[in-house]
Structure 1
Amino acid sequence: MNKRILVTGGCGFIGSHTVVELILNGYQVVVVDNLSNSSASVIDKIQKVTGKRPDFHQVDICDIDALTGVFRQYSIDGVIHFAALKNPQESYQLRDQYFTTNVDGTRKLLSVMKAFSVTRLVFSSSAVVYGNPSTVPIPESAPAGDVTNPYGETKFQSECDLSHYCNSNANFSAVSLRYFNPAGAHPSGGLGEQPLKPAANLVPAIGDVITGKADSVHVYGHDYLTDDGTAIRDYIHVCDIAKGHVAALEVGFAQTGHQVFNLGTGKGESVLEVIRAFEKASGRTIPVQFSGRRQGDVESCYAEVDKAHRELNWRAESDLSVIARDYCHWLSLSS
């Protein structure tokens, strides 16, 4: 019998692409999502891409009774945990809500996992835990926790909780994946990023211009000490990140304790470089409107990725041109 994996937040951007990879790798998948920033129609799209339909339950991870009902219904072998609020700018205004969903929600998930003796977890963390890094590329051994926004605080707190949990539960395995800037879409064009709330990150903002929903892209900060004055980030294809979760799950089944891995390309690209790549892929001019820096934004952030290659046998396969191509292909089919 193939292993059955519960994916929390599985209707979201990275969650849905990871569900696809799990199905393609022979796993049975159960998705829970409260649909606060996603749609159940994503399950139909997953089925169209893979030919198989994951089981779906509209459940909030903070609802222990509903979550318990899912664990009671299925024999769960492992969990990949995406469900979270994830907008760094919004987290300043909704700090308490972010801690309730992201930190308390993870603790409640752990309590239900313990009740059903499920001992394998892959956690969706973020490079935001590194705060404003002193050097780049950033290794996993770099200082973490001096974060620049409440969202980052919640991710770091959950990592600490998982580490403590593993220390007190010797048979438990948790893998925290700190990924950098997910972007792109499934190459089939059947699956992409469709948040219900206004997108807070660069690529969906570019997509809004390409599809005519916006006149220009707001670029926050053009006075950084970089070649073109705009911030540098590590943009990684969402399908590469999804494959990284499957690799981490398989390592998690093989050992115990808490482990941390970066998922990135190891290369930084500026905001203007990203916009140029999307202009090339879409054949459209993308006007830019410069604004001041946003609270908490850092100048340069990209990954050291040797550990993931060495221990997970994983590395990013797609570069920025492929990210732009696949995203524009998805836009052309979905808009």
Structure 2
Amino acid sequence: MNILLTGGMGYIGSHTAVLLANTGHQVHIYDNLCNSSPSTLERIQKITSKDIGFTEGDVRDTEKLADVLRKEKIGAVIHLAGLKAVGESSQKPIEYYANNVQGSISLIQAMQSAGINTLVFSSSATVYGDPIYLPYDEEHPTKPTNPYGRNKLQIEDMLRDLSVSDKEWKISCLRYFNPVGAHESGHIGEDPNGIPNNLMPVIGQVVNGILPSLNIFGNDYDTPDGTGKRDYIHVMDLAEGHLAALVWLQSNPGCHNFNLGSGDSYSVLDLLYHFEQASGLKIPHQVVGRRPGDLPEYYAKADKAEKLLGWKAKKTLSDICSSSWLWIKSSKN
């Protein structure tokens, strides 16, 4: 199948592109490079030994996007383009609504124009908001607490309305938990532009001497070691989830939500310990105040994805840290 990846040069997109290309699909990436590097395309092609098409463009450019969909004879779209920092979304809400919600509307209009109706959407566990119960399952009430989460939920609602209005649409909304790790080759990994917001890129900057130490935001949570616990999922397991959703959609119209998580939770100190074991390094760190909005713990119930998609996260926290260390070493050179 010919598949378009919006935001395909980013962290999750690049790993998904590798998996799709290596399983026989023809991949075309559409990305404005606002949070990624042009060199990523060369890295993807080096891993796959495949020709990966690329168009630089913004998803809000509906006409350009529709032209690419037609020219490349696209059969399905995986929509990963969008701004994704929770904290920044509160500082720049209009920018987030414009990029994420307006961009998704533009994509749907382009797909309608090109006669394409199969879509895998990159959503987020942030749509759930504060937990009423754990683990989160897909029936958990949705009440996001920040503009980023509200962006994702608005897009989900829009896609659900679309699927009701037109029964030909086949849509999966994948609610990610905490993607982390890197490809086993060490050629691609998480490499955000500017100041990173996620834990592993910050560790990478400490290792590479860009930052003096890792800040741990609070050690007085109601968890065994006092630090926040998260559901970390290896990015290649996440990529497998996209492929599984795409395959399943071929015979399942409608709009469907799926959690993609490991089903386990690990603390900041757990991850730090496993990274130090993998790297043989000691990571300087200090405890600072809690960040507003951070939860003590959250993790997924991913039984629905296992039952319907045949998907389950397989990689361990040690796998995550070993692959991250390989990427950090590689990116330093």
Pair in the same fold by TM > 0.5: yes
Q: Shorter chain as normaliser: what TM range?
A: over 0.9
Give, in whole Å, the separation in 2 of the partners of 1:296 and 1:54: 39
Aligned to 2:71: 73
- 1:72 Cα deviation after fit: 2.9
Aligned to 2:206: 209
Aligned to 1:56: 54
- 1:37 Cα deviation after fit: 0.6
- 1:65 Cα deviation after fit: 2.2
Q: Verify the 8 A CA contact 1:16 1:42 in the aligned structure 2.
A: yes
Aligned to 2:184: 187
Q: Verify the 8 A CA contact 1:172 1:257 in the aligned structure 2.
A: yes
What RMSD, in angstroms, separates the aligned Cα atoms of the two structures? 0.9
SS where residue 53 of structure 1 aligns?
A: coil
Q: Verify the 8 A CA contact 2:172 2:256 in the aligned structure 1.
A: yes
Aligned to 2:312: 315
Aligned to 2:43: 45
1:87-131 Cα shifts (integer Å, max 9, x gaps): 001001110000011011001100110111101000000111111
Give, in whole Å, the separation in 2 of the partners of 1:296 and 1:175: 28
Q: Verify the 8 A CA contact 2:233 2:261 in the aligned structure 1.
A: yes
Q: Give the counterpart letter for 2:248 in structure 1.
A: V
Give, in whole Å, the separation in 2 of the partners of 1:126 and 1:289: 29
Give, in whole Å, the separation in 2 of the partners of 1:158 and 1:110: 11
Q: Verify the 8 A CA contact 1:46 1:53 in the aligned structure 2.
A: no
Q: Give the counterpart letter for 2:309 in structure 1.
A: L
The match for 1:228 among 225, 229, 243 is 225
Aligned to 1:296: 293
The match for 2:274 among 256, 277, 281 is 277
Q: Is 1:247 equivalent to 2:247 in the alignment?
A: no
Aligned to 2:322: 325
Q: Which is worse superposed, 278-287 or 7-16?
A: 278-287
Give aligned-pair identity as a percent: 45
- 1:197 Cα deviation after fit: 2.3
SS where residue 301 of structure 1 aligns?
A: coil
Give, in whole Å, the separation in 1 of the partners of 2:66 and 2:158: 21
Aligned to 2:134: 136
SS where residue 250 of structure 2 aligns?
A: helix
Q: Is 1:178 equivalent to 2:175 in the alignment?
A: yes
Give, in whole Å, the separation in 2 of the partners of 1:59 and 1:244: 26
1:129-183 Cα shifts (integer Å, max 9, x gaps): 1111122211111111x11211111011111111111010111011000010000
Give, in whole Å, the separation in 1 of the partners of 2:276 and 2:222: 24
Q: Give the counterpart letter for 1:167 in structure 2.
A: V
1:7-30 Cα shifts (integer Å, max 9, x gaps): 000000000000011111111011
Contiguous gaps of at least 5 residues in structure 1: none
Give, in whole Å, the separation in 2 of the partners of 1:71 and 1:88: 30
Give, in whole Å, the separation in 2 of the partners of 1:172 and 1:182: 27
Displacement over 6 Å in runs of 4+:
none
State the TM-score, normalized to the length of structure 1.
0.97
Q: Verify the 8 A CA contact 1:210 1:282 in the aligned structure 2.
A: no
Q: Is 1:114 equivalent to 2:112 in the alignment?
A: yes
- 1:208 Cα deviation after fit: 1.2
SS where residue 182 of structure 1 aligns?
A: strand
Q: Which is worse superposed, 128-137 or 168-177?
A: 128-137
1:31-68 Cα shifts (integer Å, max 9, x gaps): 00000010121110000000002100001001112212
Q: Verify the 8 A CA contact 1:44 1:53 in the aligned structure 2.
A: no
